[in-house]
Amino acid sequence: MLLSFAPIILLVFLLFSAVQLFGADASYGPNQVALLIASAAAGLVGMYRGLTWAEVQESMVAGIKVGLGPILILLAVGGLIGSWMIAGTVPAMIYYGVSILNPSIFFAAAAIICALASISIGSSWTVAGTLGIGLIGIADSYGLSPAVAAGAIISGAYFGDKLSPLSDTTNLAAACTSVDLFAHIRHMLWTTVPAFCVALLFFSLIPSGAATAPEQIAELRAAISQEFNVGVGVLIPLAVMIGLIWKRVPAYPAIMLATLAGLLTALTLQADVVRKFALMANPEATMPVVEGLWRTLFAGFEGTTTNEELNRLISKGGIASMLNTVWLIVSALAFGGVLERTGILKQILDSVLTLVKSTGDLVAATVTGGFITNILAADQFLAIALPGRLFSSTYDDRGLSRENLSRTLEDSATMTSALIPWNTCGAYMAATLGIATFDYAPYAIFNLACPLIAIGFGYLAFKQKPAAQQPA
């Protein structure tokens, strides 16, 4: 066990050192170096236990392979953000949003808006990458805390993702525990609804006294309307995206099609903006419209207005802006792949099970197992599937329905994935919303409350369905 913990202890030491030395910049290289060094240490443990270097390397590649889908989505979202900026889609969302959303209820309203969207389309990532970007811009326009806004957006997005039958994680948790999908969703209501109520209460009580004055909002709206065409036509890319996800088009092609819609919108409705952007970057451009659209995909959009506050809000996006996050994900997944292949992760989870003496202990162990796997394997799907496989027999032996296990897997693995900077979900949310994971994590109240409520219900033996009880 000490040998198994050695790479993890090394990683914790290196990550702590990175934060001490580099502060907020630790995620821009130092953390990745720490993960790669820890991966090498875990590989040495595997070789000591009889694996060849080829097998260790294969485990790293297998771990990274798990994240290739999310990485492609992350890169595509970089292009999406750039295209929606130059198309005026996000500026228009800010323009209309500051008129509709009252700052006194902004955080609670943002959580509800994202929850309704996410439960409809089953994707927290899509909601964060579309509505979330606009809501962060609106919060910034009001002078409200972007970190709290990100917490509200993530809380709402994960509420809908967790309860939607269209969600990948919801289907995975039901499938890997052999539970009926809709029975799983019904059983989750007992922990999910109270947690969201706690989140809404928190967001409702946050004071908004520092909100920007109405005259400053008027200046911002005037600057947006002066620079961009803000007619409803520029919201077509958003409608295209929501329609594609509603039709269950896979995320990557849906994002690419929505990006194309953004480019076409920019070409038809924002040609002057595109030309101005291209000539600012390259005064000798011979085809400024083409070059401007192309540049915004890989380098992102940069505001050229006379309003510096607006320029700061809309200078975002580009595939290049996601590359540091991709490096973080690849490093973390390589580490997780070695831990799984060498048996270190299973040994740690098995040791958690040895502490189980009651139903409350079992639920707490499941929550802990999901959280540990999210930290070490850096992927929420592994954090659902691996503890789901390992803990199933224990729930059976204790006469508990596997619906309790499937619910707790979501309360832990799905919810905590967005709170870990190097997890695919935490890295995605930080890169997309532009807020560091550790900055928004204290305000992702729904994600924090779910595992705590699950553990509390376990020790109270509340709504722990016996195996013999038939679904309602």
Averaged pLDDT, 55-64: 90
pLDDT in tens, 98-130: 777 778 888 999 999 899 878 866 778 878 887
User: Mean pLDDT, the chain, as a whole number?
Assistant: 86
Query: 155 and 419 in contact (C-beta within 8 Å)?
Result: no
In this prediction, residue 195 has a pLDDT band, given cuts at 50, 70 and 90, of very high
List all residues 6 or more positions away from 222 whose beta carbon is below 8 Å from its beta carbon. none
Model confidence over 15-41: pLDDT tens digits? 888 878 887 677 778 888 988 998 999
**Angle formed at CA 60 by CA 129 and CA 378, multiple of 5 degrees:** 35
pLDDT digits (tens, 9 = 90+) for 287-305: 999 999 999 999 989 887 8
Q: What is the pLDDT of residues 235-293, one digit of tens each?
A: 999 889 878 877 878 778 888 999 999 999 999 999 999 999 998 888 888 899 999 99
Global pTM reads: 0.75
Taking residues 45-60, what's their average pLDDT?
Answer: 90
- Report in angstroms the alpha-carbon separations of 391 from 259, 339, 349, 459: 42, 18, 9, 18
Q: What is the dihedral of CA 149, 144, 452, 127, to 10 degrees?
A: -10
